[in-house]
Structure 1
Amino acid sequence: MPSAPPDLIRIFNKKNSYSVYGDNANFVAEEIFKTLKVVKQGKDPKAPAGLDLKLHQIQDICRMVVFEKKWRVEIYSSDGGKWELTKKGSPGYITEIEDLLFAEETMQDQQVMLAVQIGRIQNQRVVGVAFVDVSLRHIGTLQFQDNDQLTNLESLFYQIGTKECLCLPVQEKDKDSKKLHEILEKLDIKISERKKTEFKAVDIEQDLKRLLGQKYWNSIGELDEKLAMGAANCLINALGLLSHEEYHSSFILKRYNFNQYMRLDNAAIQALNILPNPREPNQRQNLYGHLNKCRTPMGSRLLMQWLKQPLKDLDKIKERLDIVEIFVDNQAATKDIRTDCFKRIPDLERIAKKIQAGRAGLQDCVVIYQFIQQIGDFVSALRNCSNDPLITNRFTKRFQNIETEFKPFENLVEETVDLAGVENGEYMVNASFDEVLKELHEKKDQVFKMISQHEDDVRTLLGKPSSLKREKDKTHGYHFKITAKDRSSIESKKYKDKVIIIQNTNKTIKFTDAKMEKYTESYKEYMEQYTEQSRSLVKEILSIAASYMPVFEEAHEIVAELDVFTTLAYVSFSANIPYVKPTLSPLGEGNLELIACRHPVLESLSDFTYIPNDAILTRGESSFQIITGPNMGGKSTYIRSIGLSVLLAQMGCFVPCQSAHIPIRDAILARVGASDSQLRGVSTFMAEMLETATILSTATETSLIIIDELGRGTSTYDGFGLAWAISEFICNKLGSFCLFATHFHELTQLQEEIECVKNFHVVAEPDTKGKGLTLLYEVKPGHSDQSFGIHVAQLAAFPEDVIEVAKAKARELEHFDTNKRLSVEAEPAEGDQQEGKEIIKKVLEAFSEEPIDKFSDKELQKYIETLKTELLQIENPYISKLMQEVIKVK
């Protein structure tokens, strides 16, 4: 076997244990055991050293390797001969190793593998994409035009939860290739490079016919999206789908339409703190963590999906809001559904995937059976809640339908499974099917009676301690457990020579004795014989269960939907100040009016008193709002609260306002802070330029733009100039709703020049002695007339001598600036000013169209210097004066 590449861990399954070898063994030893001493050399000195591992350690390794390292895993098994690959997994393909990854927990997000190729069709940049869910037998494809920033593709990665991307190696001379790899690295998506020949769609029709089946193939029409089909070909071959006969004629092809969703890029996701950040210690201080009161794993995953895919269709949004309203209006019934009906609901989606993949057992069938017994509770609770057609058609009738469709499955389990044994944690075929099974069942029952009798004998021998319990696990079989307070009973003369300690902790002791070990071994032998005798029957039962996949899918979908709707209602009515149902207007129509708007996450913190604020953006009057005020004064919170209300409304949730009217937005675009761009080798200034360039090139009249501080990564004059020019461009060229929080007080002069600009400020009151500052967190019309930086430093308890020096230096700069203004020559004539501004506007428009994201810092600096030189050569008094001031500062 050739050596493994650096991003691959090979695990060898030896039935009772697992092993890793060579570099893999060293890696695991350092990561798990923190020492190389556990790696042992075998009898053959030429063979690589190895490390033996237990199942729970393998589970930890798989989770770390796939989710944290973004590596691949291969698991090999042997029946005494050659080692064969039996399972494989990667960040985007976890179907075969789900039982290892989620043994004790549930998956919160989808793990999607996607293939992409970018080409030119009629001189237009076109992206072809394919992705697959092997468990549900879905193949998704789409083909679309994109810009040089690939913003549509980036949004798609986010929408569908991409964890791994198959693509061509980066081509240095290919700007699209470089941009694709930059996006993948920024989003922390595993890059799996493939050869160009794998993206050719030569045999794709034949391959899809085999996977989809002739009948389904005839219904989908002609496949003319060649780039998407090439991506599908790459994906099918990479996963080896055709080599699995059980996949033939079982897939369906879905054409994905991402235009039905609001576009959210990575900058907006981080700016609004929508999803958990692995680097943050508190995983609940984000919008998903705040909303996720879901009672089932399926509900949590669907909530995550809805957050990633806010709707643009007004009718669909209204339908969601109407359903949430019904549950809000029936709070008692909603609470009953959440507390009673969702109790003990399993992860139906995960179980369905196991059954479909042939990895399930009788226990999974029993769990589905137990869910079926609860369907009637859902029907009764929903009827008690509301008879509104929205609830009846979307939930009540669907639950009734799946109950009917599950009836044969219910009968199958009752006839074939020993349900009495389930109470003891045993999942076996009913003994009545076979005489041998009957005999083994009787012997097993006899041994179990001996175990029960021995338990009574031990209890009497130990003086009947109240904490003594009999337990059973896979490692030790039947054994006893006792609390530490009764430890003396097993140390008595009557028993201390018999006791065998299994586990000893401060609170409990697990133990057994020779007789119990003997009984346990006999019981285990009969169980193994029983399992072997019933193997073929179990296989047949699971095969029949797999035929119910459409019903399984419908079941987990309806449970997930009901869970999310009741959760959104619960969050809305249980808040300290209840959320309200927003009214919405179609895309491009109406104004944004939020009365007493609040930040949903911050107001939920127990030690936080939130001050609500109004936000009214009226097209042509106040669609561009500049917010000034001191740091920590609430500027950032204010603009984020508006973005979150828009997002919540379009996902179908009530909003934290007193009242709200929201026109549908096609995108939320953000430029906030420096993020982690410096960790990726990108300067603060470059990060600002990249994110701003994306906004300028992709925003539309129906977008919402959020900018929180722009221009901090360069000189004050350059930063202000860029902020001014970008603001003008958004107002005059884009017409988007925009919230611009800034420390440039001079930017407020825009209100005098552009009709749609309105100034607002967060209120702060310094005391009369100038030694304190009260932050009121209120947003009021007008601009802030002074800087509060030193006041904020006082609030942060800076040393007094530092404060005094800061004040002195501030006075010096004010004096310097006053003298400088007095020495300036007369202002250029109004005509020269107007001409100069038009020239600068054209230059900045040309600048916004440059692919600056492709520039290195040096290239960008060179470009700016060239731009300065060109501006200096223009014979215009206004431009000459402006450039002289910039040069003086430099």
Structure 2
Amino acid sequence: MAELTPMMKQYLDLKQEYPDCILMFRLGDFYEMFFEDAETAARVLEIALTGRNCGLEKRAPMCGVPHHAVDGYISRLIENGYKVAICDQLEDPRAAQGIVKRGITRVVTPGTVIENSILNESENNYILCIHFGEEKYGASYCDVSTGEFFVEEMDDETGLLNEMTRLNPMEILIADSHAKDLLRITEKTRFKNTFVNPYFDWAFEKRTAEKALCGHFKVNSLKGFGCMELSSGISAAGALMQYLVDTQKNALLHITTLRTLNDKSYMTLDPNTRRNLELTQTLMEGGKRGSLLWLLDKTRTAMGARLLKKMILQPLKSLEAINERLGAVEEIKEGLYLRESLTDSLGSIYDLERIISRISYGSIDAKDCLSLKRSIKALPTVRELLKETASPLLGQVYQGLDDLQDIFILLDNAINEDAPVGIMDGNIIKPGYDEEIDRLISASKNGKLWLAELEAREKEETGIKNLKIGYNKVSGYYIEVTKSNLSQVPYRYLRKQTLANCERYITEELKEMEDTILGAEEKRKTLEYEAFLKIRSILGNNIVRIQACAARIALLDVLQSFACVAYENAYVRPEMTDDGILDIRNGRHPVVESIRRQEFVPNDAFLDNDKSNMLLITGPNMAGKSTYMRQAGLIVLMAHIGCFVPATSAHICLVDRIFTRVGASDDLASGQSTFMVEMNELANILNNATPKSLLILDEIGRGTSTTDGLSIAWASVEYIITNLRAKTLFATHYHELVELENMFAGIRNYSVAVKEMGHDIIFLHKIIKGGTDRSFGIDVAKLAGLPEQVISRARVFLDRFQEYEVSLGGLPAEKENSPQSKAELPECVKKISKVNIDTLTPIEALNLVYSLKKELTDES
């Protein structure tokens, strides 16, 4: 009976431990995959599927990838939803007795990637763990590539989904017993393609989870992290830590703290608000360009770019914290030398956070060390620039910024500027750092000089002018003589190898020198490797210091980015208060004005708690209602993240949340119509808004019949103004709603100015006081290019439909009776009174006479 080879037994034993992974098995310079893994990988990676004798009757299917290019292949497997277990050689094959010892050194999943070649440097790569507690949802998330680790709790599914969309995790970890619950929650969301990873239930038990966390952070209690009250959160965080230990196979030294999040510090932005305000990506194309993030991103470091995105998605709710940021931005903006010098200095700082992760993983190489050294070189200059700054926040950065000069000196003295990528081939340690290494380098160099002298001497003694001394890894050193000169070869030459055109020889003298030179080079490589491991260990002991430095540089980078944007676009510092007044003078949409070449038309916005609590905005499509409302929302949000705003002045009150209901879209995958999506979003707003919220509502009720939509819009306005009292911008085409200004204190009518020229219109994009009774829909359709026949016919129908238009003017509030007119004019008289004779065309006049005659005939 056939028996597996020892190597294949080793492979299958490891595969049994990781059945849900593609196992990459290191064999020499390749990572090989076998059996089903090979068939899957060959298909996904589009590489050749071959076979290998494994001791069985049939050859085992096999494919492989070069070890030096493995990152790209791992990336493609991860993108296709596979986990990859990396099996490496745990001993030098030359020193191994029998089969080389191998083991799993890491499991790579979508949420645990650390390789720069796979990651987006300006995006965090989060793995999220969720625990379904008895009362609350616990959540913990980590970016393994940077060491960030957070814990929090949510009261309901809505809060959980808000966090999931904010984080956009690449992988979600969930207990086996709750996998179906997570599927139920996410089946109607955008998380269907996220990698969901069921994990052991026992890891989520409170005691087990707490033990895992305390063990990692080497503490007796979690009190110091401020999360003792978060029972469900601790379960999630502990399970996540256990999972990371299981898969990453190292001490994770760069995960140095557990940060507790709560909704008291940051404003909650639901997915609709983030999407409608286009905070990080655009609605149409889903790209970064055209978003607020794109506009504000003048960061110079990858760390700053990631922090900027987090700040945009987590606006502050503390006046003190907001004003600290604004003060720092103002000082950088107004200081030309400070601003330009910071921009230049920060540009030479590499991604310290991800370099730290490679230190922790033991994968840092000499090139990373040089990047770290060059980054540290800029720190004294940055610190000196902050020395005389006056703002408290810049002062805190200055006081806390460690310039890491001891690490700089170490790396500057130790690492060769021309070091290769690997750490096993030598030439990574600078001359002068280690005496023994220097001696071996000298021996190696002297040996090569001796070889040159030997070659010249042999040429002279033998008379063979084209004789040469060469080297290769297989044969070592040799003397090469072409066949035409073989008659001149002396007897002391010993034949080593015969080739087609030449013979290769060795002498006793050359053999002795070969042993000396090769021995020196091998020993030198070994000593350099050992020296580098010591350097890496020193860096590992300083991870906390480097992390603290990285955090301060990231913050400083975002502040200078805000300052540069403010300077370039003439933004002003908002006055932040808690008085309930929102007063924006000559506000501009920050993104639209930066993209459009023509001059942007600014507009004011004023909201308070009493007389102007809601702006009811009417006017045609394309006139700028949505732009106006979005710009108000963006200006408020920008102020809350500590950024200057596009206006001539801005008095911004604190808001607890910004809600938006803008645009129309269906969700076919979940079976929801456009109108149902709209109603769901409206329900979320009406159920969660408070008097301190800002609401941006556009075209409520337009997804159904006119009467139903008008009724819903009317009732919603009444509810907001009487129950919520939230500051609201409400745009509508239901002109009947303008009557609400006369019925409720706090509602103010505004409209978009339009200039009419016959049947043509010009949008002035100016918001003015007062309502309008026209939507100019046909005029907009004309601008869109509809055929003239359609436009003309539409005008005829419009006149006819207006005969039956139900006016809700003067409709009383709930529980009141409306007075009825004692005398009503005939309908035909009403119709004639509405006709504008100056603009009436002949065909329209004939149609009007025809309709009037028909009406009189019907009545008689």
1:140 aligns with 2:171: no
Distance 1:77 1:828 in 2: 80
What's the CA shift for 1:151? 3.0
CA contact (8 A) 2:225 2:259 kept: no
Distance 2:160 2:168 in 1: 12
1:798 aligns with 2:786: yes
What's the CA shift for 1:212? 2.1
What's the CA shift for 1:739? 1.3
1:347 aligns with 2:351: yes
Distance 1:703 1:200 in 2: 38
Selected match of 1:181 from 178, 186, 198: 186
Distance 1:344 1:435 in 2: 34
Distance 2:365 2:382 in 1: 26
What's the CA shift for 1:354? 1.2
Distance 1:197 1:423 in 2: 42
Instruction: Identify which range, 410-419 or 341-350, moves more after superposition.
Output: 410-419
What's the CA shift for 1:132? 3.6
Distance 2:602 2:244 in 1: 52
Q: 1:394 is paired with a residue of what secondary structure? A: helix
Q: Deviations over 1:706-739 (max 9, x none)?
A: 1222223322222222222222222211111111
Distance 1:4 1:139 in 2: 28
1:708 aligns with 2:698: yes
Q: 1:246 is paired with a residue of what secondary structure? A: coil
What's the CA shift for 1:138? 5.8
What's the CA shift for 1:779? 1.1
Name the structure 1 match of 2:385.
381
Q: 1:601 is paired with a residue of what secondary structure? A: helix
Name the structure 2 match of 1:114.
128
1:614 aligns with 2:604: yes
Name the structure 1 match of 2:29.
16
Q: Which amino acid aligns with 1:435?
A: E
Q: Which amino acid aligns with 2:702?
A: R
Pairing 1:384-423 to 2, within 5 Å after superposition: 386-390=388-392, 393-399=395-401, 402-403=402-403, 406-418=404-416
Q: Deviations over 1:789-831 (max 9, x none)?
A: 111111112222332333333334334x25xx59x9xx99989
1:77 aligns with 2:77: no
Distance 1:190 1:661 in 2: 44
Q: 1:259 is paired with a residue of what secondary structure? A: coil
1:154 aligns with 2:161: yes
CA contact (8 A) 2:188 2:670 kept: no
Pairing 1:772-851 to 2, within 5 Å after superposition: 772-815=760-803, 817-818=804-805, 834=816
Distance 1:680 1:699 in 2: 26
CA contact (8 A) 1:324 1:566 kept: yes
Q: Which amino acid aligns with 1:369?
A: K
Distance 1:773 1:756 in 2: 32
Name the structure 1 match of 2:687.
697
Q: From the superposition, tell whether residues 7 and 682 of structure 1 become closer, same or farther in structure 2 (CA, over 3 Å).
A: farther
Gaps of 5+ in 1: 452-521, 837-890
Q: 1:607 is paired with a residue of what secondary structure? A: coil
Q: From the superposition, tell whether residues 426 and 750 of structure 1 become closer, same or farther in structure 2 (CA, over 3 Å).
A: farther
Q: 2:239 is paired with a residue of what secondary structure? A: helix
Name the structure 1 match of 2:543.
549
Name the structure 2 match of 1:294.
299
Gaps of 5+ in 2: 1-11, 91-98, 453-515, 819-860
Distance 2:320 2:799 in 1: 59
Q: 1:532 is paired with a residue of what secondary structure? A: helix
Q: Deviations over 1:379-438 (max 9, x none)?
A: 34345xx53253662333444xx12xx233233334433457699995325465253653
Q: 2:738 is paired with a residue of what secondary structure? A: helix
Instruction: Identify which range, 16-25 or 202-211, moves more after superposition.
Output: 16-25
Selected match of 2:650 from 645, 660, 667: 660
Q: From the superposition, tell whether residues 243 and 776 of structure 1 become closer, same or farther in structure 2 (CA, over 3 Å).
A: closer
Q: From the superposition, tell whether residues 392 and 323 of structure 1 become closer, same or farther in structure 2 (CA, over 3 Å).
A: closer
Name the structure 2 match of 1:511.
none
Distance 1:32 1:565 in 2: 43
Q: 1:203 is paired with a residue of what secondary structure? A: helix
What's the CA shift for 1:153? 2.5
CA contact (8 A) 2:209 2:235 kept: yes
Name the structure 1 match of 2:712.
722
Name the structure 1 match of 2:139.
129
Q: Deviations over 1:105-132 (max 9, x none)?
A: x521222222222344xxxx42222334
Pairing 1:706-785 to 2, within 5 Å after superposition: 706-768=696-758, 770=759, 772-785=760-773
Selected match of 1:365 from 369, 378, 395: 369
Name the structure 2 match of 1:88.
107
What's the CA shift for 1:557? 1.4
Name the structure 2 match of 1:560.
554
CA contact (8 A) 1:74 1:87 kept: yes
Pairing 1:213-228 to 2, within 5 Å after superposition: 213-214=218-219, 219=224, 223-228=228-233
Instruction: Identify which range, 4-13 or 47-56, moves more after superposition.
Output: 4-13
Q: 1:784 is paired with a residue of what secondary structure? A: coil
1:580 aligns with 2:572: yes
Q: Which amino acid aligns with 1:721?
A: S
Q: From the superposition, tell whether residues 246 and 316 of structure 1 become closer, same or farther in structure 2 (CA, over 3 Å).
A: same
Name the structure 1 match of 2:261.
256
Instruction: Identify which range, 780-789 or 424-433, moves more after superposition.
Output: 424-433
Selected match of 1:231 from 236, 243, 246: 236
> Percent identity at matched positions?
28
Q: From the superposition, tell whether residues 172 and 392 of structure 1 become closer, same or farther in structure 2 (CA, over 3 Å).
A: closer
Name the structure 1 match of 2:507.
none
Pairing 1:90-105 to 2, within 5 Å after superposition: 90-94=109-113, 97-102=114-119
Distance 1:581 1:449 in 2: 73
1:167 aligns with 2:177: no
What's the CA shift for 1:581? 0.3
What's the CA shift for 1:173? 10
Q: Which amino acid aligns with 2:436?
A: E
Q: From the superposition, tell whether residues 239 and 46 of structure 1 become closer, same or farther in structure 2 (CA, over 3 Å).
A: farther
Distance 1:728 1:236 in 2: 50
Name the structure 1 match of 2:444.
443
What's the CA shift for 1:680? 4.6
Q: Deviations over 1:158-182 (max 9, x none)?
A: 55554332235697997xx566334
CA contact (8 A) 2:616 2:738 kept: yes
Q: TM-score normalized by structure 1?
A: 0.73
Name the structure 1 match of 2:429.
428
Distance 1:296 1:290 in 2: 16
Distance 2:248 2:117 in 1: 23
Selected match of 1:338 from 339, 343, 363: 343
Name the structure 2 match of 1:864.
none
What's the CA shift for 1:668? 1.0
Q: Which amino acid aligns with 1:16?
A: D
CA contact (8 A) 1:135 1:357 kept: no
Q: TM-score normalized by structure 2?
A: 0.76
CA contact (8 A) 2:328 2:391 kept: no
Q: Deviations over 1:588-636 (max 9, x none)?
A: x321111111111111115343111111112222222222222111111
CA contact (8 A) 2:666 2:677 kept: no
What's the CA shift for 1:309? 1.1
CA contact (8 A) 1:210 1:248 kept: no
Q: From the superposition, tell whether residues 747 and 211 of structure 1 become closer, same or farther in structure 2 (CA, over 3 Å).
A: same
What's the CA shift for 1:532? 3.0
Q: 1:86 is paired with a residue of what secondary structure? A: strand
Distance 1:524 1:654 in 2: 65
